[in-house]
Amino acid sequence: MACGWHVGRALSVSVLTVAVVAAASACGTRIGRQYEYEEDLFLALDGSATLYVNASVAALVALRGLPLDPNPQALVDRAYYRRVYAGSGVQVVRVTFSRRRGRRFVHLRVDADDVRKLQAVEPLAWSEYRFDRQGEAFVYRQRVGPSKGRALETVGWRGDEVTGFRLHVPSRVLFENAPGDVERGNILVWEQSLRDRQASLPLTIEVRMEAISILSRTLLLFAASGVAALLVMAGLVAWTIKRGSSRDA
């Protein structure tokens, strides 16, 4: 009885582990990888975008020069983040906070009706965004330029902190300059060490994609499969009727 309980528990743990790994892969999250500053961009083919900014308050001070107190005990001001990350055609949908390694982190969701409008938002103005149609494809380009902040010495950084720029591509990727492979779900990642980003080492992101979304392509495949199945059924019915008529004759 005890042996059966242990076997069942082991199977449950294994299934849970597989589920967690699958979920992490589907969400584009690399297990164990934590960014001190991250921009996670979901792009649509109509040019609209949803951007998730996940960053320590200290990184926002050091990289973007925001007038914030990096002390994790300092009071938070959601209204400030909503104001500074908003603009024409750009709105802040959500602001939340967390703590990690003794530092406070802020998590924002920013919606833009045109991804190119993000560069007019002060904390995102270090990037130039372009999204253009070229023949039968769309080309997305983002150039992350110089940082603008101040040096911080007492925030607990160890020197191995990383910044990340993640892009969720809505259609099949034709070309990209990401240093790694395309992750499941058409996710591309560009990384820099926090030190390199503070030193303003340039970062260029470029992706060429099909002009039809993955969802549209999937729906077309389902529709084509359905039509093919109906044609096969119709052919079988016609053949059966013809065969029966021949026997009657």
Q: Count of domains in the chain?
A: 2
Choose among 133, 180, 120, 157: nearest CA to 37: 157
The reply to whether 234 falls in a domain is no
The reply to whether 74 falls in a domain is yes
The whole model's pTM is what? 0.75
The reply to whether 112 falls in a domain is yes
Instruction: Say yes or no: 13 and 97 in one domain.
Output: no
Instruction: Say yes or no: 26 and 64 in one domain.
Output: no
Instruction: Say yes or no: 20 and 75 in one domain.
Output: no
The reply to whether 61 falls in a domain is yes
Give the pLDDT score at 2. 47
Instruction: Say yes or no: 191 and 204 in one domain.
Output: yes
Instruction: Say yes or no: 147 and 98 in one domain.
Output: yes
Instruction: Say yes or no: 47 and 118 in one domain.
Output: yes
Distances (CA, A) of 107 to 74, 170, 223, 224: 16, 23, 40, 42
Instruction: Say yes or no: 18 and 131 in one domain.
Output: no
- Helix H, strand E, coil C: the string for the chain is CHHHHHHHHHHHHHHHHHHHHHHHHHCCCCCCCCCCEEEEEEECCCCCEEEEEEEEHHHHHHHHCCCCCCCCCCCCCHHHHHHHCCECCEEEEEEEEEEECCEEEEEEEEEECCHHHHHHCHHHCCEEEEEEEECCEEEEEEEECCCCCCCCCCCCCCCCCEEEEEEECCEEEEEECCCCCCECCCEEEEEEEHHHHHCCCCEEEEEEEEEEEHHHHHHHHHHHHHHHHHHHHHHHHHHHHHHHHHHHC
CA distance 151 to 26: 37
The reply to whether 237 falls in a domain is no
Domain that holds residue 109: 34-218
Instruction: Say yes or no: 71 and 133 in one domain.
Output: yes
Instruction: Say yes or no: 158 and 181 in one domain.
Output: yes
Instruction: Say yes or no: 149 and 26 in one domain.
Output: no
Q: How many CA atoms lie within 13 A of 66 on its CB side?
A: 25
The reply to whether 244 falls in a domain is no
Instruction: Say yes or no: 26 and 82 in one domain.
Output: no
The reply to whether 67 falls in a domain is yes
The reply to whether 229 falls in a domain is no
The CA dihedral of 87, 92, 98, 100, to the nearest 10 degrees, is: -40
Kindly state the tokens that stand for 239.
């053949």
Instruction: Say yes or no: 104 and 21 in one domain.
Output: no
Per-residue pLDDT in tens (0 to 9) along the chain, 249 residues:
445 444 444 444 343 343 433 344 333 344 457 999 999 999 999 999 999 999 999 999 999 999 999 999 999 999 999 999 999 999 999 999 999 999 999 999 999 999 999 999 999 999 999 999 999 999 999 999 999 988 887 899 999 999 999 999 999 999 999 999 999 889 999 999 999 999 999 999 999 999 996 444 444 334 345 444 555 565 666 656 766 666 665
Give the pLDDT score at 211. 95
Give the pLDDT score at 232. 59
